[in-house]
């Protein structure tokens, strides 16, 4: 019996995640790189295979994930090799640039629906800020005492931007009659990123972030 591609990819991702947990530093680095590159390759293959009128937004998603992969590789591999990254750094700029491209792709998809309302995009931002306020007050604010404004802005920016992307994705799914699996997978990726980024922001702020933390599995799970 031939397994569907998604099952093969999911199984490979689970295997790589297991190696990431139980392997030494080198094996963990290879597993991390393999999952990121495999996810990028799968998205690229999808865009090339299904060339339709929706290729434009999907091409933007591919560009966004390419930038994201280019940022996440050094984010993990450089500290893993014993060379700590400053915070914030160009890697963080790469992440935020990728999120901006993702937002452009989602906005492009939404504009293709006749029920799209431009004001809804502003409402999503307002709701995201409201949802991010408790995160700031109860999780981040107590940890960023005496931090520079740039560090504080970067730490808060991660969950805030992901909340905006989550709201845009949910809004997009509400515009279509039958939400497809791609949209649901996108939500799963954003939620995984959001939870992991909240942990990342808090642990960086209080100086407890570790590359061997189980929370990093959320990133790998969101990629697969």
The model's pTM? 0.82
Q: Which residues contact 224 (CB under 8 A, 6 or more apart)?
A: 9, 10, 12, 13, 14, 17, 35, 39
Q: What is the pLDDT of residue 117?
A: 58
Q: What is the pLDDT of residue 51?
A: 60
Q: What is the pLDDT of residue 120?
A: 59
Helices (H), 81-180: 90-111, 118-135, 149-175
Residue 13 per-residue DSSP state: H
Rounded-to-10 torsion of CA 73, 76, 77, 83: 130
Question: What domain range is 169 assigned to?
Answer: 5-223
Q: What is the pLDDT of residue 177?
A: 61
* Six token digits for residue 176: 């279509």
Q: What is the pLDDT of residue 55?
A: 62
**Number of domains into which the chain is organized:** 1
Q: Which residues contact 162 (CB under 8 A, 6 or more apart)?
A: 99, 190, 193, 194, 197
Q: What DSSP assignment string belongs to 65-76?
A: HHHHHHHHHHHH
Tell me the C-alpha distance between 124 and 34, whole Å.
34
Question: Mean pLDDT of residues grouped by 10 in the chain (224 residues)?
Answer: 63 76 80 86 78 69 91 91 89 95 85 61 64 66 74 86 82 67 72 83 82 81 75
């Amino acid at each position: 019996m031939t397994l569907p591609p998604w099952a093969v990819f999911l199984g490979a991702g689970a295997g790589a995640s297991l190696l990431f947990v139980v392997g030494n530093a080198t094996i963990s680095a290879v597993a991390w790189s393999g999952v990121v590159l495999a996810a990028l390759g799968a998205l690229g293959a999808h865009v090339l295979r299904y060339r339709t009128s929706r290729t434009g937004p999907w091409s933007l998603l591919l560009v966004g994930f390419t930038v994201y992969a280019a940022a996440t590789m050094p984010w993990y591999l450089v500290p893993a090799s014993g060379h700590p990254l400053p915070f914030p750094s160009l890697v963080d700029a790469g992440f935020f640039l990728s999120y901006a491209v993702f937002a452009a792709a989602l906005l492009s998809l939404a504009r293709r629906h006749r029920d799209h309302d431009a004001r809804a995009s502003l409402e999503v931002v307002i709701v995201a800020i409201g949802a991010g306020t408790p995160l700031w007050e109860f999780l981040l604010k107590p940890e960023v005492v005496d931090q520079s404004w740039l560090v504080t802005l970067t730490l808060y920016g991660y969950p805030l931007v992901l909340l905006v992307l989550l709201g845009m994705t949910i809004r997009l799914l509400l515009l279509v009659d039958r939400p497809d699996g791609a949209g649901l997978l996108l939500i799963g990726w954003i939620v995984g990123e959001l939870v992991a980024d909240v942990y990342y922001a808090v642990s960086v702020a209080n100086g407890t972030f570790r590359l061997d933390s189980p929370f990093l599995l959320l990133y790998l799970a969101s990629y697969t």
